[in-house]
Structure 1
Amino acid sequence: MILFDREKLYADRILALDDKGRSVTYGQFNAFSGELYRKTGGKKLIFILCENTIESLLGYLGCLKTGIVPLMLDSHIHPSLLNGLIREYHPEFLYAPEACMGKIEDGEVIWHTGGYCLCRRNEKLPPSLFSQLSLLLTTSGSTGSPKLVRQSGDNIDANAQSIASYLEINENERPVTTLPMNYTYGLSIINSHVLMGCTLLLTTYGVLEPSFWEFARKNKAASLGGVPYTYQILKRIGFMDMDLPDLKTITQAGGRLPPGLHKEFALYAKRTNRKLFVMYGQTEATARMGYLPAAKSLEKCGSMGIAIPGGRFWLEDEQGGVITKPDVSGELVYQGKNVALGYACSKDDLIKPDEWKGVLHTGDIASRDSDGYYYITGRKKRFIKVSGSRVNLDEVERLLKEQYEGIDFACVGSDDKLVIFTDHLIPEAGEDILEYLYRVTGIGSRAAAVKRVDLIPKNESGKTLYKKLETTADNRE
């Protein structure tokens, strides 16, 4: 992989610093990778339970470097969801924090490294892996959906190079982690900075904690990224008045930033001589597809920008025809080397070759202005973004129907607002549903609500009429 081409030049350079005062060099990472390869034997499927720690970072990068194929999962994943994925995909290894070992139904610890353990499973039916397959990410991680995105090393390289180019990343950049490592946006920050030999600042603190800002200031954080919810928090805690002398760049992705908030942060960036990059992406494109140049943050406020270097956008109408006129909405289509290989829904899919051939129909509805800048106006697919994480509404329905057998559910929503409709709600049941949802998926009650209807509307073939529910979704109980 190009990602590691210049690694020998970086041998003594610090790869990462963490909030416990520890550090690791690029040279030490190289040694770790060799040991990981010896322990696993090469191209095997491994599940990594991620945290923003040195051990987690080494595991991820070590897999990419040696050809081991990781599925990246949140270390807080519910045990039932984790073991469901294990039964579906049959990984031969798991790499997880010691505190998570109780979640794993079977596995022999063969290597302790820091606070992480490498476990070998007695797997009799390991999956066959496509030669170019390098990484697996969930499409809706919080629900434990078995649907994964298959990414290649070329996908990762291409996206890292594009991002490093338009963000003008050099070896002196120091990004501080604000996003989980199992999230495509978080990984894109890691990849693009490792490519350039930067030092990553790893912390498990959140932006609401004073310790996060102490760590960022002490270690001279040069950039930070966030989803729309992150920026709402930053405004609330007085970020714009903070003394952060080394901060140069702030980035945003993971959903549409409200135009008002976009404008406030664009004005802040202009006033403080910093750069704000609003970006657009999906896991299916390895991470980034579009970005709004910092110089256009105010002029094109509300836009998700233009295609990244090496990529191309166009719009299609409902018949698949290309829309050439400005200010006409259609489905946003992207072409680039970072478009993933395709989906996997079971272990048998991991041997599949490249199915998408560099073209992705995003499922997002957008328009393009006369200057060529794109604006997202809606979605075709049943996904929403909750705190930046993509949530598959159909998967939430599936979880609820499995938990509450015999009760019908229908989910609708927009970014940061999930509404659960049910036709069988007894007093106090709404709180029980929300508590279950939070326990299993991490979706909190502030981002979700339960509403009772007499009957969930369906058509003659029994399909839910979501449009009818969407008209009442704002009147939540």
Structure 2
Amino acid sequence: MSRFWEDSSTMSGARVHAGDEGWLRGEDLVRRADAAVADLPPRSVFALRFATNAASVAVYLGALRRGHVPLLIGTDLSAEMLDPLCRRFGIGRLFDGTTWTSVGAGALASPAVHPSLGLLMSTSGSTGSPKLVRLSLENLAANAGSIREYLALATDDVAITSLPLSYSYGLSVLNSHLAVGAGIVLSDSAVTTPAFWNLVRAEGVTGLTGVPTTWRMLRRMRFERMDLPNLRHMTQAGGRLDPEEIVWLGELAQRTGRRAFIMYGQTEATARIAYLPPTRVLDKPGSIGQAIPGGELWLIDTDGAPVTTADVEGQLVYRGPNVMLGYAESAQDLALGATLTSLPTGDLARQDAEGHFWITGRLKRFVKLFGNRFGLDEVEQHLRTLGLDAGAVGRDDALMIGVVTDTDSAAALRLTLATRYHVHPSAIQVHALATLPRNSAGKLLHGELQQALDRLTATGATSGVSP
């Protein structure tokens, strides 16, 4: 797979719309990219606070073109989290979205890296995790090419940044469009604002990308009534949409002559792993479909043996050229080459008789209440059907719910759940919260929710409802 950032014919058609600057095209974009990293020593490892602006895109592309290794971080990552992260990995430089500054280990620091290493990303939504994903340039090129193929992207396609570029899903939109010589509109306006939709119409955006919270917001906004004459395809990943929500999106696509893609992926696979073809969205709502072009999916049982019977649950495993080199937990790990060839996703799934996969839960997203196993993802899905903004986590013999509501409603919900799941109310805690912890893309951060609920429990909320 060719590296689009080095392909002069592809980059000659690539274009980035940068606000008041208008469209940056081809050679101008390449010149900016090269100039943005011209002062870096060879094979520099640096942190890139990936703002939604031309300067950040130029630094990113320049790093790919000139052999540097950026660690992508979100614009919302605090200095208190950034500095120890950079120290841990021996990183001394930061591009903060506008300027270069010294961080962590100091401006002259840069760890030794493996020749294949091209990009570093966090395994968590907050980039506060001490474990990073090591991606190669081949990973980036392969995944961009696969996405380009199944979305059938063309040079006249135009995407808009509805997700952060530091997030693997948001980054994949940038990569896949540049890989075909298409356009990307940079916007830091929320999808709930008129400014965002004015830009969509003015620049002829053809593709819209969203995580579940994005599409739920758009549904409440009566997205189906919007006049979007250039829109051709809509994509969803970054979490699970309920089947009823998928049907809404699929029927909208059918009525308007557009295509809806339901997708599945992980940062460890650069972005995308599977997709459900638009022709199957309405008859298989909830399925993640099939492996992306060039990839392979299968299931294994608890002993690691392949599951070959239809509709039998197992752990989902993926193999393809987009699988990461491996994880890094220290600066020394950046010098490692590939440490795996396939990716156990940690997700449980089944494969139907037609070969399509269905996620059934997380391998570790279960709790046992009085000896019975309960899937936390199923609990969250039920809470959404009740119209609640809630998350489910837990410890042994305790189902813990965080919900945006008042304490009286939380107390009532606790009894409702105990009745539904046929367990004593003592096994369930429901905590009323002002907000749920989410990353900048809107994805629920279960680890941070668990910590928050553990703290509330430690304060002595014996009734199961936070003060």
1:298-335: per-residue Cα shift (whole Å, max 9, x none)? 11111011000110110001011100000111000001
> In structure 2, how many angstroms separate the alpha carbons of the residues matched to 1:34 and 1:349?
28
The partner residue of 2:100 within 105, 118, 135 is 118
**2:347 maps to amino acid:** D
Counterpart of 1:377?
360
Greater mean deviation of Cα atoms: 236-245 or 436-445: 436-445
Aligned equivalents of 2:217 and 2:57: distance in 1?
Answer: 26
2:99 alignment partner, SS class: strand
* Aligned counterpart, 1:93: 93
Within the alignment, does 1:3 sit opposite 2:7 as a pair?
no
SS at match of 2:65: helix
Q: List runs of 5+ in structure 1 lacking aligned partners.
A: 98-115, 387-392, 398-409, 418-429, 457-471
CA distance in 2, matches of 1:439, 1:284: 17
Cα distance, 1:56 vs structure 2: 1.3
Partner of 1:367: 350
* TM score, norm. by length of structure 1: 0.78
Give the AA of the match of 2:112.
Answer: S
Partners of 2:444 and 2:279 in 1: CA distance: 36
Amino acid at match of 2:242: P
Matching residue of 1:102: none
Match of 2:279 among 295, 298, 316: 295
Is the alpha carbon distance of 1:21 and 1:234 closer, same or farther for their aligned partners in structure 2, counting shifts above 3 Å?
farther
Write the distance in 2 (CA, Å) between the matches of 1:223 and 1:63: 27
Secondary structure of 1:206 counterpart? coil
* Corresponding residue for residue 245 of structure 1: 229
AA aligned to 2:71 is: L
Tell me if structure 1 keeps the 8 A contact 2:14–2:178.
no
Task: Supply the distance in 2 between the matched residues of 1:333 and 1:442 (Cα, whole angstroms).
Answer: 26
Cα separation, 2, equivalents of 1:306 and 1:414: 33
Partners of 1:317 and 1:335 in 2: CA distance: 17
Asked if the contact 2:270/2:322 (under 8 Å) is kept, the reply is yes
RMSD: 3.6
CA distance in 2, matches of 1:442, 1:300: 25
After superposition, the Cα gap between the structure-2 partners of 1:339 and 1:440, relative to the gap in structure 1 and judged at 3 Å, is: closer
Deviation of 1:238 after TM superposition, in Å, equals 1.0
Aligned mates of 1:436, 1:416 — CA distance in 2: 7
For the residues of structure 1 that align with 2:298 and 2:438, how far apart are their CA atoms?
A: 38
Cα displacement (A) at 1:415 = 12
CA contact (8 A) 1:19 1:215 kept: no
What residue in structure 1 maps to residue 156 of structure 2?
172
Aligned match for 2:112, one of 128, 134, 142: 128
Instruction: Note closer, same or farther for the CA distance 1:369–1:305 as it changes in structure 2 (3 Å cut).
Output: same
The one-letter code sitting in structure 2 at the alignment partner of 1:72 is L
Distance 1:8 1:444 in 2: 40
* Residue 141 of structure 1, CA deviation: 3.7
* Equivalent in the alignment of 1:273: 257
Q: Counterpart of 1:378 in structure 2: which amino acid?
A: G
Instruction: Quote the residue 1:461 is aligned against.
Output: none
Distance 1:262 1:303 in 2: 10
SS at structure 2 position matched to 1:20: helix
User: Could you tell me how far 1:25 is from its partner in structure 2?
Assistant: 1.6
Which of 113, 123, 139 lines up with 1:155 in the alignment?
139
Residue by residue, what CA displacement relative to the aligned partner does 1:374-427 show, whole Å, maximum 9, x if unpaired?
Answer: 0000002469999xxxxxx99x99xxxxxxxxxxxx99679999xxxxxxxxxx
Q: Tell me: CA distance 1:192–1:124, structure 2 relative to 1, closer, same or farther (3 Å).
A: closer
Structure 2 counterpart of 1:421: none
Q: Secondary structure at the match of 2:284?
A: coil
Select between 233-242 and 125-134 the one with higher mean Cα deviation.
125-134
Q: Counterpart amino acid of 1:336?
A: G
| Pair 1:129–1:327, CA change in 2 (3 A) | same
Gaps of 5+ in 2: 367-375, 381-391, 406-430
1:193 paired residue number: 177
Aligned length: 410
Does the aligned pair in 1 maintain the 2:5–2:11 contact within 8 Å? Answer: no
| Larger CA deviation: 88-97 vs 197-206 | 88-97
2:23 corresponding residue in structure 1:
23
> Shift of residue 370 of structure 1?
0.3
1 CA distance for matches of 2:438 and 2:183? 34
TM-score by length of 2: 0.80
